[in-house]
Structure 1
Amino acid sequence: MFSPLTHDDPHELGAYRVIARLGSGGMGTVYLARAASGRTVALKTMHARIAADSAFRTRFRLEVDAARVIGPIHGARVFDADPLAETPWMATEYVLGPPLDDAIAFSGPLPEPAVRALGALLCAALAQLHNSDVVHRDLKPSNIMLTVDGPKVIDFGIARAMGDDRLTRTGAAAGTPAFMSPEQATGQDHTSAGDVFALAGVLTYAATGHGPFGTGQPADLLYRVRYADPDLTGVPESLAAVLARCLCKDPADRPTTAELAAQLSTDTTAFAHHLPESLLTETGLRAARVWRAQQHRLSPPVDTSPQAPTTPMSPALSRRKLLTVGGGSALGVAAAGAGVWAWLGPQNGRDNGKNAGGGKPKPATSATTASPDMDWQVPISASKATIVPPVPLNFYGIALADDRGVRILDPADGGVHIGTLSKAPAHQCVIDESRLYTCEAPSADDGPLIISSVTLKNLTPAPVEYKDFNGSLRGTQLLCTVEGTLYLVAGQGTHSGQGLGFRSDQSWFLLAINTETNKIIWRQPLPRRPETSRRLHFLDAHATDQHLVLQQETSDGKVKLSVRDSRTGNLRWEQPLAVSEPDDVQGMLAVEYDKVYPAAGPLRALNLSDGKEAWNFGRSRRTGPPAVDDLVFAVEEGLGVVALDPFSGELQWEEKGGHGADADLITPPIAFYRFVYSKSPGQLRIINAETGEFRKAYKATGERFFAYMGIPEKVVAVGADFMAAYPIQ
């Protein structure tokens, strides 16, 4: 869906920051981009090598004009454009839906009512163009986006005014051969009737999965378009007669868009009702991925000459997502029961002048003897207090927080990339894409709560006081931050000086703070903690735009899963988890899309909205959370890794090869790139994520494993007193 940026892609154009590549062709590149307001757009640009050609610039300007003509109902709304810029660009609405060809590949040909509704709405779109004397000239499945409100026509790269042939070379056939009109195939004038011909080809494809003139070499396709009868095999009989007329070789014999719309007449007011449920689900998933997209930039090509060494500047984006484990992000990580967490994410340049130690990163120091398969290992110092995993660090390297503070490690060798950023304990640190939030100790006992934020680009702290809360209370806990909101636990009252310092006269609250205004959005009271408690209020936290998902230890040592409205803090639902020891599920929260997967009991998926069970696998004993990607990956006793459909819970495959019988049931698997990694005693097994075939195993130790999607890519292990990195196999 998204591709990483190359090293020479623009960082921003106009008011838009470039996030990822959506596609590239002969004329230019289309990017996913965001404005400071959060608006996400498709940003189309022209290649620099042709931007100097006045004819191509004119064509780009005409494309902008045509996109504006079709309007926001039938096309993608144009927000801004600058055809005169050094790199001409246009920012349009990012359409939340798949192109028609992807939709057919995913869910198969559409039922007849859906094809008729699609055709009627596309007739309205073309009529909007034709009424302004504009013809599209390249209508094809990949240029039609399916949304729940109806189709949208995009890509007007060769659209032009009717009768204007100044940008078409004599005899040239501009367009896509499989969906061209006969007149377009011979380089003649393409009128509105040519768009009707192409529309009939698109509807044939929608109904059957194939075009009316098949596939093959361009010359063969152009011949069939001009001389062969269309292949309407598989088109419903009543619809075939309508499309056959549209595919007449003579433009005069084809209906107008108004006539065609009348022949297709159907209810178009509820387009989504005509679409398969699987396609609607896929549309929702694509929308979710857009809002979570983050910037990744490839390194420049390596110059092998000694005079021009290069340094990686940004990450490659792996195809597969990571499991969601706490912290409100697909890359959040935690060490189960170890009292330490790490942020994992791509690095953004090894030497940025911020290395507190100065000079080159220091070499890694091993806590124990490294295994032969290990790249590096560093010691960590962790207290016994259970803590909450944070969101990831998406720039600069691997960030590690333990009793010695927060520091950034170089993923290549484990050396210190940036020295201590904060002395706050690990459970009072959390980070978003580029900013670290910590609780800073007040200057006096029982002083105000101070939350300090530091941008990782300049490391300048910005403290904010909250006088209603006691910053000396060790039970203060930062949970996670997402989309400009920081979630935390803060208390009122005095500190006892014993352990975490809970007292019966203290009052504790769950808070949400706007990180832009530093104002408290809401607060919700929490139950008092026993004075002897050695654990914090929460074992895990994960936030979305609507839900705050929590694993909470009750005062009697039980654990419950609860979901709150992230905008108000109001409790939506909660239910107990059948665990004998809270440490067993600490750092084990798995959330993906609209579901949460409890870390205890049978493998099941609960709806975030109401807590009702969406499905229950319920076969054999399973502990630890699953890894959720295109599939749900879990470890089952006696079987090893299994893959389930995330929507139905149906089994897709069981691990093959006979190596899963001794799989560790406590350590959750990770899904990374094309593989699933699962722990066995002294080993990390690698399984093909698409087939379940065992690939290989290598020596590895650790209590939890995570994937680092940066440069270089690593599997990172966290143990009770060490962090280690293994190469991607």
Structure 2
Amino acid sequence: MPTPLTHDDPYALGGYRLLARLGSGGMGAVYLARSATGRTAALKTMHAHIATDPAVRTRFRLEVDAARVIGPVHGARVFDADPLAETPWMATEYVLGPPLDEAVSTAGPLPEAAVRALGALLCAALAQLHASDVVHRDLKPSNVMITAEGPKVIDFGIARALGDDRLTRTGTAAGTPAFMSPEQATGLEHTPAGDVFALAGVLTYAATGHGPFGSGAHADLMYRVRHAEPDLTGVPPALLPVLTRCLDKDPARRPTTDELAALLRPGQDGFAGHLPEPLLTEIARRVGGVWHPAPQRLPAPPEHALAATLPSSGQAPPSSPSGPSRRRLLALGGGSVLGVAAAGAGAWAWLGRQDPTAPKPPAGPASSTAPARDLLWQEPVSYADPLVPPAPLTPDGLLLVGEYGVKGLDPATGAAKWADPSVYFMRRTATDGTKIYAVDYTLDEAEPLRVATVDPATGKINAPFGVLKDLRAILYGTQLLCATADAVYLVGGRGTHTRDGFGKDQSWFLVKVDTRSGGRLWEVPLPARPDASPHLHFLSARAVGKHLVLVQQSAEREPRLVVHDALTGRALWDKPLQSPQPVLNRAHLAVDDRHVYPSAGELVALGLADGKPVWRFAGQTPTARFGPPAVKDGVVYAVEENRGMVALDAANGTLRWAEKARTVTAEDLAVPPAVGISYVYAYDGASSALVAADLRTGAPGRPLKAARARYFADPAAKRLIAIGGEYVAAYPLA
């Protein structure tokens, strides 16, 4: 449980305010943290004195990747991370439940039905890792969190790709001796069969309260793991043959995760239905406790308190002398009801709708306080790659969201029409407004890069219409940039596959593919990347008429605005996007048929053909800064620091209107305005709302109570779509 912050703990990291300590060790510390929107997270950091070791820093990055691969269902959802920061950090969902070792010490060994359900769900978690060629290597009771919806696997500090021994030398053992496999204890390759061995140890502990090889000195434990028979005393008789087979010293004789799940045969009830009442009570206590004040250096922001929605004790009120009812416990512990909604990816929306203690916006017109009905719907989505700004795509009324698994949503209701059943790390999708395109993905290094359409009714990838035989499908850095009715633009590479970014022997190309014939229309070489560089070649792209407009980044991550002749691929001009703003703030593209409007702090129009300035807007002061612009119907919209929204004539930069002065912080300049039907919207951090201005006059409209996110207008559905790293939501569009 949380403990107070120490005097030398940082105050904030990555936009998260640190509230308390959750744990610490030789590698780093884990904090309870909260974002400005009310999202509660577990924020893991690495000690600065070891972050200078490249191998340790690489291991941290691999841990982030593995946590993202396992996804939010079987693991803690990754909200954000920066492995390259001076103090590397990763923010994940704060899992509302105890680790398995604390669950067993609190409620005793689990009943057989619960052990079977636990095992089957952990098999699914490991199968998802193994499908991406990742092994956990440190599965143990303290790394399995128990929630009312199911277990979550955490701590991927020594997880790695199959066959990758760069961070663990052959002949050495990494892991926890009491739960490692014999081959791992000997320093040999740890395969998925090793994770199955560890899983059997975890299930033995869950059923009996002790591990299969006891406790003691590391050397003794490793000897028993390699040579002794497991101690299965107390294991239910029906589970004995199953666990015995999993604990076989020979990896070849152990079942696969699919076979083990079938052998466990869990019941039909939900996971919580198998858990004992004391454990459900503990889960409910932790749900309430996430908002319960604790002695700490920095208290939780009062605007995010839940005093009116949870009892002051942080526990559910008893419905009988024996404790809270099972239904009440599930309401408190279930991730989809309150657990995730209040403390996970959806905290911003849940608080925005139901928090009666939130402060009111500053005094203003009577309409300045938006009613709770503003939020129309909200859906969780898979992680969206922070290097590629997400965008809603609406062919045939579909909203495409997600990065590791694409969802097709109805923008009017949020109902899922389909979800991509495959979880592939670098899949890219694009649309021309009518068809959806995908760069197909395979785990086979020998397979060529394939381009296909996606069935909008089912989300399934159709047979490829283009096969680029000299480009590899599995390379990190493959991107599908954008599409038109005639062509798709992509990045493809040649060379040996690596799992850690780019390879020094790889060569990369910007390619145009004909959507009718599948033929390659042109190919332009791209700069080489240093070995293991994680920085993609392009951050955003737009094809407009005869021009392909790109935000390209160097190996050092510095962005440049580059325009190519879309017919020949020839580079027409290239300018640096120099600005003190973060890289991703500069990645937004605003383009019309004559100009491109860069996102680099100033408000300027550059000619598409030659990159020369056509006009420049000075603003109220010579040093005025602007957020990324948006352009629609001959008008350019942007947010000016300490002024608000401005609207300019796209042809000559003449000011049409300006919002009445309001406080605009640097954080409010991160994303472009969203241009709707009658109003243009921009986020105002001071009032925690979307302010609206009439498109023609700039007159203020009714603000929307909403969270900080990137917003897009969908006029056909009359929805204002919010895209966050792990969620999509909708508000009414006017």
**TM-score, length-normalised on structure 2?**
0.47
**TM-score, length-normalised on structure 1?**
0.47
Higher-helix-fraction structure: 2
